[in-house]
Structure formats: structure tokens, C-alpha cells
Structure 1
Amino acid sequence: MSDGRRAEGPGELNRPRETGVSDGRRAEGPGELNRPRETGVSDGRRAEGPGELNRPRETGVSDGRRAEGPGELNRPRETGVPSDPVIRAEDLAVAFGGRTIFKDVSFEVRRGEIFVILGGSGCGKSTLLKALIGLVPLAAGHAWLLGEELTAANDAARRALLQRIGVMWQSGALFGSMTLAENVELPIEEHTRLPRPAREALARSKLGLVGLGDAAGRLPAEISGGMAKRAGIARALALDPPLLFLDEPSAGLDPITSAGLDDLIKEIARDTGTTFVVVTHELQSILAIGDRCIMLDKTAQGMIAQGNPRDLRDNSDHPTVRAFFRREAA
């Protein structure tokens, strides 16, 4: 936005700072973040029209699914075969002040799936999410996102990678003085050279994708909690990232609103091929949306189960896993 307002707090995903010009121009120099190339991309294709970001295409998507409509930013296709993991974590550990939150956590997230990080309160679910995207330092282990190790990347590569990741925080983390459309438009203004009419059209299309097309002009204080969650997802989808993190998306919602949000997540995953990593302890949502999951445990200080959540519910012989899925007292 032209007034440069920023929200403070953990929801900010290290967006690159702009130099203050209002027409979307970017400063020159080594800090420039993957500015759209002026030369032709490797396959020779160029998109026409003012809305094109001219980002390089990648090859190799297994099913070639694309989201349709004016909001499509022609996001880069992922390389590799479908079995290539979108996230690979090896022996992750996080500790604060000498206190171990979790350790020896290893897993993979496959392309296009809805992957759930679950467990009881205080087990480190949200901390693991923050560690994966570089907001919390790892005490041990390595994590690769979209084929790159975030902690080993230089500043420019790190910022470029973070532009391919969307995050919705538990509270929605919307900017209270901006309308929903302005909230969604902000990352588009930050990271693209699209003219204002194209940015506005794209923001409205993302809000339409989550069922908020008629609420674009409202402020966050004027909408319900469920609408705020949907608006947060719309903003996370603004740049069409191939990987989306959701932190407790159903927290504080009534069962009907929560079920509607679950349906929305499944619909977006199906229609766009986006990979979701969802942090939650909401049992009904886990069983409704999860393709695979890992379960963390506070007492064990790590991971105690992984697999299909319905299989874990029906077949696990681990007492904590069984108690969680059957809503039994430990």
C-alpha cells in the first residue's frame, strides 16, 4: 500500500523491504529479489498482457493442473517426478533456554497432499511449522523446502524461496486498518510489478476463491472469525505459492464453520495442486482433510506416530495415539 503500513508480529514472513516508491519499482543492487526477467524464459514462452509477472516456467509437473480465472499468476511449475518430496525433514530438534521442545523429528511431505502436524497442546506443533520456514532456529537437523535448504541459502535465495511459500497464522494476522482486498493485495504489491488495476482484480479473485468476493471492502473488525480465517488463506494464496502452511485454521470456530473451512482446503488442494501443511489438534478436521500426518508428543519430546490419520485411529497400538484419536483421558 502506498502508505507503507506494516503489521508487526510473528505473522510477518520476512517480506523484502521496498525503497518507498509508489509505482512498484524496485531498488537495484544485490538485494533485488528475483525481479521478473527481461529476457525470454528457457522454453521461449512469453505471457501477454499487463498482468504477467514473466516469471520463469519450470517443467515437470505430473498432472499440469492450473487454477483458472483472472487471479492466476502463472506460478512456476515444480520440477521432478511426483514422488519428489516438497518438504524433507531430517532429525529436527528445537530447544529454548536449554529446554528441548522436540528432537529427532524426520518426515517427508509429498507433492499435492494435505499433510497434518498434530498432537496435544504444548507439544511443539506451531514451533515445528516456524522452524520449517526459518522463524525459529534449529538446534539440530536439516530441512529442505521445494528442494532447497532454507538455513543454508544465501539471503537472496532465501527470500526467493520464501516468496514461494504461503502462511496463514492462527489469528489470521490481518492488518486491521486495511480492507480485506487491501490485505490480499499487499504481497502482490510487494513482490510484483503489476499495475494497480491488475493487483486489485487479482486480490478480488483470491477473495472470491475463498467465498469472500462480496466482503472485499470490509475491515477485519467487521467480519466473523471464520471469514478472517478465509481472508488469511486468500492472502497466503496471493502469489500462487506451491506450498501453503496453515496454523490452527479451525481454532475457535463453530463446527459448521470449521467444516466449511475443511471443505475449502480440500477444494483448493484439488483444484490448484497446492501442497498444504496444516497444524491442528482438531480431531474432526484431521480426519476430514488429512492425507498423511505426524503426531508430536510433549512427554516424548518428539514424534510418536506418522501415517494416514484414519489408519492411526483404527490400528495404532501406541497408548497416547489411541487416546488422542478416541478422545480418551490419558
Structure 2
Amino acid sequence: MTGRRLWFVVPEGIDDPARVSGGNVFDARVAEGLRRLGWDVRWVVAGPDAASRAALGRVPTGGLVLVDGLVARGAVAALAAAAGRLRLAVLVHMVTAAFDDADPAELENERRMLASVNLVVATSAWTRDELVSRALVAPDRVVVATPGSDAAPLSIGTATGGSLLCVGVVAPHKGQDLLVDALAALGPGWTCTIAGSVAADPGFVRRIAAHAAEAGLAERITWAGVVHGRALDALYARADLLVAPSRTESYGMAVGDALRRGIPVVATRVGGIPEAVQPGRAAILVPPDRPAALGDALRRWMADPALRADLTARARDEGPRRRGWIETAGAVDRALRSLP
């Protein structure tokens, strides 16, 4: 076996623009960074347990395998079967047990999956701490590789500060319903683009879109769907403020992407978001699941030009110095090299 060869098991559709996600972006950027650091990274696209078992079966004995957590949760038996033959690491983007409505079967799959691997790579310190505090992983088996962000030009924004942007799959844990509640009480002077897949929970999407229409906001909220590449860059370029109203969030890659572009953030103080906004001089954090608190923060932003100017100046100052993806890949590189 080549000393620095890595089999990276990723979800089906990882290259599909219609299925873009933070996890897929993370995987792609880490793979690219590891190649730059001298690794021979071999993509293994796998789905359900049987497909994963077949894919892992083609890796030579002693091979080093990094498995995306989304695949790993559906491939518990395959990982258990390969555990004695391969060196296994899993990349954990989110802790299932952190969701209040988590399915007991999924919780058990998570526990069994984590027990089968030699190393866990968590995408935030919060994720690591959740895994350890819930006794899912021993502290010496988990390392942190915080997401980076791509270099990008600073946002142009608008003169009024009223161009709001929310990026992420439209689903209850992302809290877009809380955002609509807050916007309904905000007053004039703003528009909001909500960018992200609407396929995860169509019922949730229908409910909040109906609420927005009933509140008279339909013409001020744009549901952009899945956006990537230059189209996503264009949304960031004209945004004044990123809003991240999540109920559960392991890190918040959109937060880092916005700050990299000099865009301030209003977000909930939940999960890994406090890490994502560090050093925090360009962000307003509010309690989670509190639309009134979110609305108050947005009103402050809209009503106070000095506040907008100060937060924007801080974001523009910090943006070029934020962590890049090569640093993320470096953390994964060191973790993988630690495996015997």
C-alpha cells in the first residue's frame, strides 16, 4: 500500500449542483487540500449499507479510509465488518443526538457507527464536545477540523443595509420559520433572500411560505432554492447582512463565508455558531428559538446606521484573515497521520 493513499467515502450526488450542501462542500475542499498536501485521495461514492460494504471490500487490507458521516450512519454493518481489516476514520458534520426529535433507531446507528472506527474528525469544537459529553467517543479518539472558507471579494452591499440573506437547507433545524416571524414584525426597508434546498421538508416550506404570504411579505422574500457557484457569489455580493436563525448548528459554514466577504452576521447563539463568528466583533448573537430576540436584533441593524457601519467595517477588516480550507485540510492531514 502507498504510504499516503486515502480512500474517501462520500455520499451519492456529491458532485450534483442540485444537491449542494455544506457537508459536500466540506468533503470536496478537504479532498482538494489533502491532494495539495501530497495525499493520493481516491473518491469512493457509496450509498446504503450493501453498496458501502462492496465499496469497502475493494479497499486493500490495511487501507486508510475516511468516511463521510452521512454515509457512515447508513452503513453501520459495513463499517463493523471492515473494522478489523481497515483503518477507519469518520468525518462527523452533525451529532444526531443533538436533535430533540431524533429517531431512536438513528441514535443507535450513530452509537454503533462511532464505536466501529479508529478516529473521529469533528467539524467543530462543539461537535467534539457533544460527542464526548454524550459518551459516544472517548476524548483521545476525536480531533477537530473547523471549516474554512474560500477567498472571495468583499461584498458590495447596498446603501440602506436592507439586503438580508439567509443560506442553508430550508428545514426546521435551520429556523427559517423564526426568520419569517421576525421579518413580519420588522417594518419597511428590507428584502430577504432565502437560499437553500426546499426538498428536505416540503411541508415545512409550504407552511412558512404561506405564513410569509399571509403577513404580506411575499414580494419582499425571495425563495432562491439551491444556489451555488457564481450565482451564490452574486447573492453574497449584494448582501448587507447574513441572518442565521438556526435551532441546531454544528458550525455554520454560511456564517464563515459571509464574514470572509466582509458581511456582518445576526445569528443564534447555538451549537458551533459562536466558533464560526470568532473573533465575534462583526456579529450579533441572540438566543435560539426566540423570534422576538431575532427581530430586535434586526430592528437595531435597520435603525442604526452607525451600528451597520461599525459591524461592516469590522467584518471587512477581519474577512481576508479568516481561516482558509488549506488549514482545515492540514488538521485532517495531521489527524490521519496519527493513526498507526
- TM > 0.5 fold call: no
Q: TM-score, normalised by structure 2?
A: 0.28
Bigger RCO of structures 1 and 2 (CA < 8 A, at least 6 apart): 1
Q: Which has the higher helix share?
A: 2
